[in-house]
Amino acid sequence: MTNLTVNGTVRAVDVDPDTPLLWVIREQLGLTGTKYGCGIAQCGACTVHVDGAAVRSCSMPVSAFTEDQKIVTIEGLSPDGSHPVQKAWLDLDVPQCGFCQPGMIMASAALLAQKPNPNDDDINSEITNICRCGTYNRVRAAIKFAAQGGQVRRG
């Protein structure tokens, strides 16, 4: 039995210790907003926050986590979709198919928490998630929009 603190709640999970955190989140905890895309930490669809940092949960065994670490998934980023990144994403209509977007949003929220005003180089180096629909330009615009407090609405 492992105790995990996910979205502010301590959850006991009975699971093989080498199970990736992603699959514990999806299958044991039933939080399916965090996505499987590659299983090798390449695409970022599985991104969650661990103590505020963006982590690719598909490649971290659940045994690597303790109850002290605060894991936040897309479902826990805000109670009602009101995180500044989510609001910017809504305003700029960022998602297309949307499958990569929970990971994209979690990565962007972590970036903004560390660098409230990221420049293009910061975005290029920190946002390495794959989107096949091609939302990159809107992702970039929405990160900047969120950084500015959502003051300039795109026409």
Binding site for another protein (CB under 8 A): 16, 19-20, 23, 26-28, 30-40, 42-43, 45, 73-75, 77-78, 81, 86, 89-90, 93-102, 105, 123-125, 127-140
Cβ distance to another protein smaller for residue 5 or 21: 21
Q: Which is nearer to another protein, 8 or 68 (CB)?
A: 8
Q: How far is the CB of 69 from another protein (least distance, A)?
A: 20
Q: Which is nearer to another protein, 99 or 150 (CB)?
A: 99
Rounded to a whole number of angstroms, the minimum distance from the CB of residue 31 to another protein is 7
- Distance, in Å, from the CA atom of 133 to the CA atom of 148, rounded to the nearest integer, reads 26
Q: What are the DSSP calls for 41-104, one per residue? A: SSS-TTEEEETTEEEEGGGSBGGG--TTSEEE-GGGS-SSS-SHHHHHHHHTT--SS-TTHHHH
Structure tokens at 140: 């970039």
Strand 2-6: give its sheet, edge to edge. 9-13, 2-6, 70-72, 47-50, 53-56
In whole angstroms, how close is the CB of 51 to another protein at the nearest point? 20
Q: Two tokens at 110?
A: 């972590």
Min. distance of Cβ 140 from another protein in angstroms?
6
**Looking at beta carbons only, is 4 or 74 nearer to another protein?**
74
